[in-house]
Chains A and B, each alone.
Chain A
Amino acid sequence: DAGITQSPRHKVTETGTPVTLRCHQTENHRYMYWYRQDPGHGLRLIHYSYGVKDTDKGEVSDGYSVSRSKTEDFLLTLESATSSQTSVYFCAIGDVSGGNTEAFFGQGTRLTVV
Chain B
Amino acid sequence: DQQVKQNSPSLSVQEGRISILNCDYTNSMFDYFLWYKKYPAEGPTFLISISSIKDKNEDGRFTVFLNKSAKHLSLHIVPSQPGDSAVYFCAASDTGANNLFFGTGTRLTVIP
Question: Smallest CB–CB gap between B14 and chain A, Å?
Answer: 26
- Among residues of A, the one whose C-beta sits closest to the C-beta of B101 is A45
Interface of chain B: mostly helix, strand, loop or mixed: loop
Q: Which of A64-72, A73-81, A94-102 is the interface stretch?
A: A94-102
| Beta-carbon contact of A42 and B100 below 8 Å | no
- Chain B neighbourhood of A94, CB < 8 A: 100
In the complex, whether B28 has a CB less than 8 A from a CB of chain A is no
| Beta-carbon contact of B99 and A105 below 8 Å | no
| Beta-carbon contact of A99 and B6 below 8 Å | no
In the complex, whether B80 has a CB less than 8 A from a CB of chain A is no
| Beta-carbon contact of A106 and B32 below 8 Å | no
Out of B46, B49, B105, which one reaches A104, CB within 8 Å? B46
Q: B residues touching A (Cβ–Cβ < 8 Å)?
A: 2-3, 6, 31-32, 34, 36, 41-46, 49, 51-52, 89, 91, 93, 95-96, 98-105
